[in-house]
Amino acid sequence: MHTHPNARLTPVSWERLVRRHIHDAEPLAHLAAEAGISLRMAYKWLSRYRSGGAAAVVNRRSVRRSEQRTLDPKNLQRAVALRHELCTLRRIARLLALALSTVGRTLKAMGLGRLKHLQPPVPRRRYQWARPGEIIHVDIKQLARIDRVGHRITGDRRLGRSACADYEKAHVAIDDATRLA
């Protein structure tokens, strides 16, 4: 278990404090002052110990225990149906009287978080000629040839600009039927 680095007491020392109050009859106000905590906090831990024993005297998450973090099957089915009707997450949450974060997290896990994911992607139409040589795609790329390194490598801007020595050209031709370059 991970204990907060600035915590006054750990679960072991909480249990020791509560047991000293119950078994040794030491006043809770004295024990709280000795531990450097408020009396209210000591009473809180005492009531936890009395309700659940030593197992209840552990650090718990700070999230509300009554918070609904998942959708029941009925609400899930309604949320999916509303989403397929292209309703926004905010509207679905309002109609189902649920938290927006819960609806958003659930629908995102199902792959329905974005509207564009609701419709199947349009298949790409590729054209291809039947016989080789009917159509050829030609592309020309002009590449500059630099005669020396610039200031980004040397770090010295006083040398001036690096002039372009010449250009090289790359010609690429691809046959549409065979995809040979």
The better pLDDT of the pair 78, 121 is held by 78
Q: What residues have CB less than 8 Å from 74, skipping those under 6 apart?
A: none
Report yes or no: 58 and 1 within 8 Å, Cβ to Cβ: yes
Q: Which pTM was predicted? A: 0.39
Give the pLDDT score at 62.
Answer: 66
Does residue 3 surpass a pLDDT of 60? yes
What is the rounded average pLDDT for all residues in the chain?
83
pLDDT class for 116, splitting at 50, 70, 90?
confident
In sequence order, which residues have a C-beta less than 8 Å from that of residue 158 and are 6 or more positions away? none
User: Between helices 39-52 and 11-23, what is the axis angle to 10°?
Assistant: 80
Q: Using pLDDT thresholds of 50, 70 and 90, give the confidence band for residue 59.
A: low
**pLDDT category of residue 60 using cuts at 50, 70 and 90:** low
Assess whether pLDDT exceeds 60 at residue 4.
Answer: yes
**Which residue, among 88, 80, 14, 84, has the nearest Cα to 53 in the 3D structure?**
14
Cα radius of gyration rounded to whole Å, the chain:
35
Residue 1 has pLDDT above 60, yes or no: no
pLDDT exceeds cutoff 90 at 90: yes
Residues 6+ apart with CB under 8 A from 169: 140, 141, 142, 143
pLDDT tens by residue, 26-52: 898 999 998 888 899 889 888 888 888
Across residues 115-140, what is the average pLDDT?
84
At 136, which amino acid appears? I
Structural domain spans, the chain:
11-56, 73-117, 136-175
Q: Are 107 and 115 in contact (CB under 8 A)?
A: no
Residue carrying the six token digits 């029941």: 72
Taking residues 123-139, report their average pLDDT. Answer: 84
